[in-house]
Amino acid sequence: MENKIVIIDYSPEYQPAFKALNVSWIEKSFEMEPIDFYQLDHPEEAILKDGGCIILAQYDNKIVGTCALIRMDAAVVEMIKMAVDERYRGLKIGYELGRAIIDKAKQLGAKKIELYSNTKGSASAVQLYRKLGFREIPLDHMEFKRADIKMELEL
């Protein structure tokens, strides 16, 4: 039987996996910042409380990826905390998470998704975002020191 990627909604039992997946990629190329700790340690308060969402990717019954949206205002959400376990990269898990999070944004009534990334430490992620239809826009104020690119997708 073929291994299948299954996208599921977050529940509190998945908080350790949500945190571990994100800490892994952040610490590989950058350093954890205060906002990272807050979002990863308290996702219900930091992400879900104000109308955001978190999804996870299961592969072979393991949580191997994650992505989240935080609500910026009635029309705009920000995509955050996309991560795929490096042992499972190359299986299109990031692409499936991206498609699913775009669908979630539409369900939430968003008209636009924004994201911040890094063209050096996250170059493959930036390529993925372009493949999903995101385009680069001028960089403005951001919460993360590591961000050097801002992208958006009109829905």
Q: Would you kindly state where each structural domain of the chain is located, as residue ranges?
A: 5-111
Q: Is-above-0.85 flag for pTM?
A: yes
Rounding to the nearest 10 degrees, give the CA dihedral for residues 26, 100, 41, 117: 30
**Facing residues of 114 across strands?**
78, 152
pLDDT the model gives residue 95? 97
Write the single-letter amino acid at 11.
S
In tens digits, the chain (155 residues) has pLDDT values of 457 999 999 999 999 999 999 999 899 888 899 999 999 999 999 999 999 999 999 999 999 999 999 999 999 999 999 999 999 999 999 999 999 999 999 999 999 999 999 887 778 889 999 999 999 998 876 666 778 899 999 99
**Facing residues of 64 across strands?**
none
C-beta neighbour count of 103 within 10 angstroms: 13
Q: Secondary structure of 79-124 in the HEC alphabet?
A: EEEEEECHHHCCCCHHHHHHHHHHHHHHHCCCCEEEEEECCCCCHH
Task: Classify burial at 54, counting beta carbons within 10 Å of its beta carbon; exposed 0-12, middle 13-18, buried 19 or more.
Answer: buried
CATH number, domain 5-111: 3.40.630.30
pLDDT the model gives residue 1? 43
